[in-house]
Every structure is written in structure tokens, then in C-alpha cells.
Structure 1
Amino acid sequence: MNSPTGPTPLAGVRVLDLSKILAGPYATMSLADLGADVTKIEHPEGGDPTRSWGPPFVGVDAAYYLAINRGKKSVTIDLKSTEGQEIIHRMLEETDVVVENFKPGSGLQKIFDYQALSERYPHLITLHISAFGEEGPLRDEPGYDMIAQAAGGLMSLTGEPGGAPMKSGFALGDLGAALFGLVGVLAALVERGRTGRGQYVTTSLYECQLAMHVNWATSYFATGERPTALGSGHPNLAPYQAFPASDGYFVIAVGNDGMWASLCEAIGRSELVTDPRFVHNRDRVENRESLERELTSAFTSETVEHWCALLAERAVPVSPIRHLDEIYSDPHTAALGMVGTVDHPTLGPLKQVAFPVNFSGQRPRLTSAPPVLGADNDEVLGTAQASPLNAGGVLSSRQAMASASVVRS
């Protein structure tokens, strides 16, 4: 359940979200969850492209958009218009953080060049998220999450051995950049508290992919050998993967030789403990194919439920491979308070996944629903200013469309 109050460590911080798609909006939603006042600037014609990334749709907006834009206000401004740029500059006077993902070398990046902005607003912190970073031969290349996963190596490490490359189920290119970017913004806010000056914080999907290679990269540096996909296996631990039971799959994660001995006893194969191929972890890693055959022959004799219960009794880390319907009906998920609701003005209660960090035992509350396009024009810009701009086409709103509350499947 979502509590009526919660920690707001970023209360008073004003954020201007000029980004779109996933990485930037996820970062700004996280800032909103932490208490920041976030205003999302969207183009008058259609807004953030993810509003149409469906099905499924809930009302006029795609579920994709609704997943990453709660806690924000929506203001529609044509950033390429002179009038729109003047409005942004008025807003920047009271803005602490700008988040944008303008394409390097684009007109908008030149218009909102950080060097010029910092001279005018020295307090300003700007987070710029790109596909490939600020330097190098790929700096001007466009990119989406899967491009980053391919170019950054994740797809070469994902999938079954010898099989087709696979992307991860989550958008780890975008989400990795969002989270590293969020860390950068928070660090810049701390430093500004000491110096009074802002920062130009940059990260990219590509750089963050490399940062998350961690043990894969250090293993490559140590051996010079090209890593390949291991399916659900681990490059440095064994057994640490999914195994088939008689009715499905489950995973085990053996982190030391003591767990290995407990596993062998549980499955009635105690002779494997002293088998020279499997005595120590390095032996098991070097003989992973033989190890997998031995364990598979044992595990296929019983059900997933049987093995999970038996191994858990012996403190061997184990889990069934669960689907989302199982996860979100699980009492453990409920106990953690990881699902809450926000009240949408036309759709009613919307379920949302909460921010996954607690502060002194309290989780940040879910404040407001993802906004209808242009819903906050009058509040943010002032009725007197918004009305003539609307008449001139600089601003627009989709509130009338949203009020129809048509659910598309």
C-alpha cells in the first residue's frame, strides 16, 4: 500500500525535464519520487513519443508512458519556437536541474548549449544523456536501447551457448543510463551545496553498458579471451544457473564449496563432493558441461516445487522462475510495499511500481499520476500567459481528448 506520507529528501529541488523516451524520463521520475518538483516539457503535437508506444493503452496513453512519468507536471511547449525558448529561459531562473537527451549537434542542443546556460544560470545542473557519449567516432550516432545492448556487448553475453544473440528482457541500456545519470545529478547537487555552482553531467547508454560489464570485463582483461554467452550460467561460479525439473525450470546459486556439499547431499549424490572434477569452484567452472549433465540427470526426476523445498531446507539458494502475474500477487511483494496506486484524473486508480529504496524504514510515496498532455500549462505558466500562447499554437493540451477515457486494447 502507498502511505499518505513518506520521505522527500529532494523537497525544494526543481527539475525541468526536456527528455523523452525512457532513460531521461525514468531518471526524472526517480527525482520526483524523491520529492523533487518535476515539470515535463512536451511537444504540443503528440507529446513524448512513448504516449503512443502501444498497445496496451490505458485511456489515450500507452501503458509504457504511464510507467515512467508519474509525479510530474506536463507543459506543452514548442522548443524550436522563439516564444517557447523565452518561456524555458524564464523557467530556468528557478530551476535546479535540467535533464535532456538532445541529439549531439542538433539544433536543440545548440539552442540550449550548457556553456551558454551556465553563464546565465551558474547554479544550473544539466544532465545530458546520449547514445554513445561526448567524444569518439560514434558520438553523433543515434541510438535506442537495443542498439546500446548490441554495441555495448550485452547481446554477445546473453542467450544460449552457440545460439542467436539475445537482448535482455529489461531495457538495460536505457535504465542503466538513467540510474547512473541519477547518481551524477545527486552528486552534483551535493557539490553545489558546497560551491554554489552547477555542473554539466553527462552519461551515455554505451558508457553505462561498459560500466556494468564488471566481472566480465576484468576476466577478459586477465585472460585476453573473448567471453561468450552462457545461457543462464555464470562465468565465474558453478553451479549457478537454471536447471530443468520434471515440470519446468528453477535456478540454483552455489556460492561456495559448503553449499556445493549441501546440494550434493540433498539430491542423493554425495559422491560428487569428492569427484576431482567438482571439488572446488574452479574445478566446477572448468568442467561446467560435465557438471550440468550430472545435475540435470538428477533434477529431471522431480518437480520444481520438490527441489525448491528440499534445497531451501539445506540453505542452498534456490528459486522457481516466476512470471509477473505470480510476482505481483506474491505476499512478499505486498509486504515490501513495492506496489502502490496513483489517482489519475480520468482513469481512476493506476497501479505503479514504487521507488525501491527506503529511508529509515519509509518508502517514498507515489505522489501523482502520469500527467495528461499539457495538463499543467495554466498552473506552471500562469493562466494569463498560457491562454495567448495556446491561441498562437505554442502550447496545446490533450485534456479534452483524455476526458473521453477511451480504453484501447
Structure 2
Amino acid sequence: MTDMPLAGIRVLDLTRVRAGPTCVRQFADWGADVIKIEVPDAAGGDGGLGGPRKGPDFQNLHRNKRSMTLNLKSPEGHAVLLKLAETADIVVENFRPDVKRRLNIAFEDLSTVNEGLIYVSISGFGQDGPYEKRPGVDQIAQGMGGLMSITGEPGRGPMRVGIPVADLTAGLLAAQGAMMALIQRQRTGKGQWVQTSLLQAQVFMLDFQAARWLVDGDVAGQVGNEHPTGVPTNAWATADGHINAAPAGQRLYERFCHAIGTPELIDDPDYVDGGQRYRNRAALNDRIAAILKTKTSAEWIDILNEAGVPCGPINGIDQAFADPQVAHLGLAQAVEDGGKPLTLVGQPIRMSAAEARLKHRIGDKGAESGDILAEAGYDGAEIDRFRRDGVI
């Protein structure tokens, strides 16, 4: 499978930190030619690093990209960007809205040289509105978007999720929007401006918890490891650790009761249906907890899987990657470039006629500047002058 889905698509990556690079990684892994445009060191650039350039975080975010440096504040640097935009399919940026307008690199600026350009913007709070100029990061969005109010144990205060879920979701939604715009462009020949934000992504990801409020006026709270509505679902202590078990729904609940040796809980008036189990969840949880402590995690996982009840271990990250199913799915993938061995997180999508590939790690900042400029039609003398003048 060598025909990658996005072969022939060129992407200009103006992003930093995490949400934007997450978006662009989707294009890079599926075959697009991605040019990561970074600020030259002489112009105060740090590359938007969340760690060392050769460290795991940066490499995981920016694999499969080519790097060039460009000083967008200089007239010549701005002109180079416009020239690159003429033949680009997608530009992705996550500047604050006022910053890109000040740099004259907004959608209205770049679309004048390429009417088919798809321009993708990711911000903290949106491209307009009362919070337009506020800086936004993941944890702020988790808090403002409601997630921290429903995460954690009751009475322990708000709790952030252990991954930057607003960043990651915003990046994936932005990539989805760009893909839809590419399909629409096939019919219309026109590009468009695709927008999302950390706040929009976080509120969207509230999903059924948001619908409970919008439809029924029900404000969810913290329930720890329990499911908000599916009782009994929990992380249960066993004789030697913990497991997750999710016997929500009548049939699963009945199987679960038989499997743990408490068939009497099926017809008990306090637990006879979902509504009663929800109302009496504390007492039911206590009954189940006492039983699950009598066997090891492995024993209960075997018993419950045999009964057809969803369950599983609670793995550390090292244990997750050692899991035979995770290994089978190929989520740890080696970079193919022949350098020092490097394994990163692979794509979680499988396709029957295509595959994502980790072809190369990202190199030094600006390593491909000369090649990219030559492809755009600049000769060697111009490229040397750009270097002398700090344009690249």
C-alpha cells in the first residue's frame, strides 16, 4: 500500500505548541507534503517547543514534516509566504486573531493569491466575540468548558484530565474541517476559512453531559470512577489491585450478578431496574465492592469476560503498550528514516487500501529551507541573501 490518501496535497504549518501541530500531524502522517514554518533564532524564535527539539513530545508532534525558517515580520519574509501560499492547498495557524491580522497573514490576505486555499485557524476561544483577544491554553479550556467540574471525586474540588484533551480534540476537529473543505473544493474550486477553538472543542466533547443540561436542565457533578448514569460501572478494588467493570443495562447487570455469585441482587427491589440502581447506587456499590475484593484482578477479568461483561485491567502506560492487543494494533510505530531507533505513537486509523507511515523524524530547525525555496523558484544567490539578511 504505497498510494497515500493525501499524496499531492501541500500544507503550510504556521502552528506552535499542541493543538495546531496535532491538526497538521494528521496531514503529514497520511502523505501530504507538510512544510513547518518556524521563526528564525535571530528573530526570537523558539520553535514553539514544549521540550527539547529531539525529545519525545516534539518528535511525536512534528514527524513527517519538513522545516524551514521564515521571518514573517520582514517584508521579504512575508513575500516568501505569499509565494508559497500560491501553490499550497492548506495553511494551518493558531495565532491569536489580532496577531495574524497585524502580520497580514490572515485568510483574506492569503486567499488573494490562491482562491482555492483552505485556511485553518485554531484559537483559544474563537476568531471573534468577547474573548477574541484572550490567550488560551488547554487547562483554561478544560475549566471554562465544564470538564473539570465533572472530573474527579465528589468533594475533592475540580480536577483536570491527565492529557490535554481540549488541545488534542481541537486539532483533530480542525483536521476534519480541512478534509471536508478539500472535498467541497473538488466541486466548487474554491477554498474557505475553517475555524475551531479549544473552548468549542471542549464544550462539544461534553457530549451526553451537555445534552443532559440542554434537554433536561440536569447539571452533572463529579462521580469519580463511577459512570454518571450507567450503574453499576466503576473502578473496583480486587485482592491485588483494581479493575474496571461496566455491567450497565439490565442484561449485563444480570450476567454480572450471576458471575460474581449474587443472583439475589437481580430481583432485589432496591436494584431491580436501572432507575432503582441509580437511586441506590451507594449501597449497591458497597455490596459489589465487598465481593470483588475476594479474588485477584486476573481472576475477575477471566470470570467477567467469560460471562460477557465488559471489564479490563487498569494499566499504567508501560502496561498499556505491553498489552497484546495494543501490540497487535501497531500503536507503537518505528520511524523509517534509518537514523537512531525512534518509536512514536502511530495513527489509530486502519484503512484497507492505504496506511499512515512515520517516514522521517523532524530535523534541525530550518534544515530544508534551501530546498523548499528552490522548489518555489528562488535561485541560490537569493537564498544566500535571505540567510544573510535574517529572512530565513
Superposition TM-score, scaled by structure 2 size: 0.93
Q: Decide which of 359, 366, 382 is 1:374's aligned counterpart.
A: 366
Alignment partners' CA distance in 1, 2:383 and 2:329: 42
Alignment partners' CA distance in 1, 2:329 and 2:221: 36
Indicate whether 1:321 and 2:311 are aligned. no
Post-superposition CA distance 1:363-397 (Å, at most 9, x none): 312221123211111111126133221122222xx
User: Residue 361 of structure 1: CA displacement?
Assistant: 6.3
CA contact (8 A) 1:47 1:373 kept: no
- Where does residue 79 of structure 1 map in the other structure? 72
Alignment partners' CA distance in 1, 2:304 and 2:362: 43
Q: Decide which of 207, 212, 221 is 1:228's aligned counterpart.
A: 221
- Where does residue 44 of structure 1 map in the other structure? 40
Matched to 2:166, the amino acid is G
User: Residue 222 of structure 1: CA displacement?
Assistant: 3.2
Mapping of residues 2-401 of structure 1, within 5 Å: 5-45=1-41, 46-50=45-49, 53-54=50-51, 57=52, 61-106=54-99, 110-343=103-336, 348-360=340-352, 362-382=354-374, 384=380, 385-395=382-392
CA pair 90-210 structure 1, distance change in 2 beyond 3 A: same
CA contact (8 A) 2:73 2:103 kept: no
Matched to 2:209, the amino acid is W
Secondary structure (helix, strand or coil) at the match of 2:120 reads strand
Secondary structure (helix, strand or coil) at the match of 2:158 reads coil
Matched to 1:381, the amino acid is L
User: Residue 331 of structure 1: CA displacement?
Assistant: 2.4
Deviates more, 1:140-149 or 1:374-383: 374-383
Alignment partners' CA distance in 2, 1:108 and 1:169: 34
Deviates more, 1:376-385 or 1:98-107: 376-385
CA contact (8 A) 2:5 2:354 kept: no
User: Residue 107 of structure 1: CA displacement?
Assistant: 5.1
Secondary structure (helix, strand or coil) at the match of 1:178 reads helix
Secondary structure (helix, strand or coil) at the match of 1:105 reads helix
**Structure 1 unaligned spans of 5+:** 396-409
User: Residue 7 of structure 1: CA displacement?
Assistant: 4.7
Deviates more, 1:220-229 or 1:199-208: 220-229
Alignment partners' CA distance in 2, 1:356 and 1:286: 38
User: Residue 109 of structure 1: CA displacement?
Assistant: 5.4
Alignment partners' CA distance in 2, 1:328 and 1:287: 37
Matched to 2:160, the amino acid is K
Alignment partners' CA distance in 1, 2:3 and 2:356: 5
CA pair 83-74 structure 1, distance change in 2 beyond 3 A: same
User: Residue 6 of structure 1: CA displacement?
Assistant: 4.3
**Structure 2 unaligned spans of 5+:** none
CA contact (8 A) 2:38 2:68 kept: yes
Alignment partners' CA distance in 2, 1:151 and 1:222: 20
Deviates more, 1:30-39 or 1:298-307: 298-307
CA contact (8 A) 1:38 1:72 kept: yes
Alignment partners' CA distance in 1, 2:291 and 2:223: 21
Q: Give the paired residue count.
A: 384
Matched to 1:378, the amino acid is G
CA pair 273-159 structure 1, distance change in 2 beyond 3 A: same
Secondary structure (helix, strand or coil) at the match of 1:73 reads strand
User: Residue 202 of structure 1: CA displacement?
Assistant: 0.3
Alignment partners' CA distance in 2, 1:301 and 1:101: 52
Alignment partners' CA distance in 1, 2:243 and 2:3: 37
Superposition TM-score, scaled by structure 1 size: 0.90
CA contact (8 A) 2:150 2:223 kept: yes
Alignment partners' CA distance in 2, 1:245 and 1:134: 49
CA pair 281-361 structure 1, distance change in 2 beyond 3 A: farther
Secondary structure (helix, strand or coil) at the match of 2:322 reads coil
User: Residue 225 of structure 1: CA displacement?
Assistant: 3.2
User: Residue 47 of structure 1: CA displacement?
Assistant: 3.9
CA contact (8 A) 1:23 1:178 kept: yes
CA pair 128-319 structure 1, distance change in 2 beyond 3 A: same
Matched to 2:373, the amino acid is L
CA contact (8 A) 1:102 1:109 kept: no
Matched to 1:295, the amino acid is I
CA pair 6-304 structure 1, distance change in 2 beyond 3 A: farther
CA contact (8 A) 1:344 1:350 kept: no
Identity within the alignment, %: 36
CA contact (8 A) 2:15 2:93 kept: yes
Post-superposition CA distance 1:165-208 (Å, at most 9, x none): 11111111100101110110000000000000001000000011
